[in-house]
Amino acid sequence: MTNEQIARINELYHKSKAEGLTPEEAKEQKMLRQAYIADIKRNVQSQIDNISFVNPDGSITPANAMKKKK
């Protein structure tokens, strides 16, 4: 997500509070918000994938392997 897209999300939010949005703008706002949330989910998953746990025996287990055990 680019800074321009984030700025547009904010612009549409402020316009919705001040005067309301046209149906096209509301659709654009929804699409941009969904893309923003998808980016956040990808970033969080990437961070989780890079976490490892050190077991009492000294071995290292990646976080995603712990999820598979359950």
Whose tokens are 């700025």? That residue is: 7
Domain boundaries in the chain? Answer: 3-69
More confident residue, 12 or 68: 12
The predicted pLDDT at position 12 comes to 96
Classify burial at 8, counting beta carbons within 10 Å of its beta carbon; exposed 0-12, middle 13-18, buried 19 or more.
middle
The per-residue pLDDT for range 29-53, each reduced to its tens digit, is 999 999 999 999 999 999 988 899 9
Local structure of 20: helix, strand or coil: coil
The per-residue pLDDT for range 56-69, each reduced to its tens digit, is 999 998 887 766 66
pTM here is: 0.73
